[in-house]
Amino acid sequence: MKRDMITKSNSLTNPDFGCKPEERPIEEYISKGVINLDKTSGPTSHEIDSWVKRILHCEKTGHGGTLDPKVTGVLPLGIDDATRAIQLLLTAPKEYVCLLTFHQDVDEDKIREVFAEFTGKIFQLPPVKSSVKRELRTRNIYYSTIYEIKGRDVLFRIGCEAGTYVRTYCHNIGEALGVGAHMAELRRTQIESFNEKNNLVTLHDLKDAYCFWKEDGDESFLRDTIMPMERAADYLPKIVIKDSAVGAICHGADLASGGIAKLHESIEKNDIVAIETLKGELVAAGLALNTTDEILDSDSGFVVNTNKVFMKTGIYPKLWK
Which tens digit of pLDDT belongs to each residue from 245-276? 999 999 999 999 999 999 999 999 999 999 99
Mean pLDDT of 184-192: 97
State the pTM of this model: 0.92
Which tens digit of pLDDT belongs to each residue from 2-35? 889 999 999 999 999 999 999 999 999 999 999 9
Side-chain half-sphere exposure of 282, counting CA atoms within 13 A: 29
DSSP secondary-structure letter at 76? E
Instruction: Give catalytic residue positions.
Output: 68
DSSP secondary-structure letter at 201? B
Which tens digit of pLDDT belongs to each residue from 92-127? 999 999 999 999 999 999 999 999 999 999 999 877
Q: What is the pLDDT of residue 320?
A: 60
Q: What is the pLDDT of residue 129?
A: 67
pLDDT confidence bin for 210, thresholds 50/70/90: very high
Indicate the average pLDDT of the chain: 95
Write the CA distances from 158 to 75, 85, 129, 168, 238, integer angstroms.
17, 26, 22, 13, 28
37 pLDDT higher than 70: yes
